[in-house]
Structure 1
Amino acid sequence: MLRRVLALALAGAVTAASAAELGAPPGTPDNSYIPDVPEWQELDTPPPPPLRTQGLIPIEVEGSRLTFGVDPASISVGSDSVVRYVVVARSSSGAINAMYEGLRCDGGQVKVYARYTPGQGWVPVTDASWQPLRTGVASTRHSMAIARGGACMERAPNGSAAQIALDLKAPVDRRFLGGGVNR
């Protein structure tokens, strides 16, 4: 019995010493102390790049009559962890629309910063706000395909803009760590 009490006391002392070493308040187990994390803030969004309709990375979007492609030159990953890109939508008749979007992988959200329409060019979205990515919702279906296809790796951007472009281009079995061709 005395051994058991001494063992528990020793374990408690080691835990307290470890917690103090890590900067945790006294009496706090070392694995429960989490320092304050500053609230996320979005950077000022750069203006949309010039529209390109050639050399796009095709994006498969189930249930859509449109064909989608991402301009690889437009992909960027900000220090705010937002993946920004231009996606071009083309109808079977050849009509083109484009969106300048941002993805927050950590929150599963998308924001449309600007829309391109022929004759008008880029028009900023005045009430742009973060919208949840939802499976099956037509307005975010292409964004979900981009996030899952290479822009996001779980809840974080998939590395650099170049890495995102590589994985978006790769066959499904070669993206991310599957097959390892892009790592």
Structure 2
Amino acid sequence: MLVQTTAATIRNFGSTSRAYSRAALPEDQLESLAVIIGRRLSLYMDAHLSSLAEENGIPLMDFKALAYIVEFQSLPTGQLVRLMGLSPGGTTALINRLEAGGFITRDRDKYDRRVVALKPIAERCAGLVFSGDGLARHIAAASEFCDEPGLEGIRDFLTCFLNGLKVDTQSWLMTATKEGSAQAV
């Protein structure tokens, strides 16, 4: 399912990109790229996140939740429940730990005052390493095989692809909220 979703997102890349008029990838290359991004990259990025959590001395689930909060900048608690796959009680405990550690604050959502939104404390989160030297080292090594226009194309592709995933994620979270399936914490 993830591979199919990823392949569909890649297939739609041309329709969401700015001025690209490139021919579609052959189906076998598209599926191969979908497996690389959808399974392999996800798997190794999860492992990398585990190593960063360990390096920062923060439990993995707390670090993962903090990564979501930092990425979204303001995340309703019910959406964090859905993203993390935890019970509302488990999520409350996690939020309490992050708040006690000085990583986040709870505030009212600017669009719906009934909703509690989690916001990162920039000064405290700035010290955390979410990317890590390991990623930069691997990117630098892989970039030796590309020229500058090629790297710009890769960056543009990944930016567009991730923007599409972000929109899909936000849509999924909003649908859950509207349907009442995201529980408030």
Same fold (TM over 0.5): no
Structure with max Cα Rg: 1
How high is the TM-score relative to the length of structure 2? 0.23
Q: Name the structure with the higher strand share.
A: 1
How high is the TM-score relative to the length of structure 1? 0.23
Q: Name the structure with the higher helix share.
A: 2
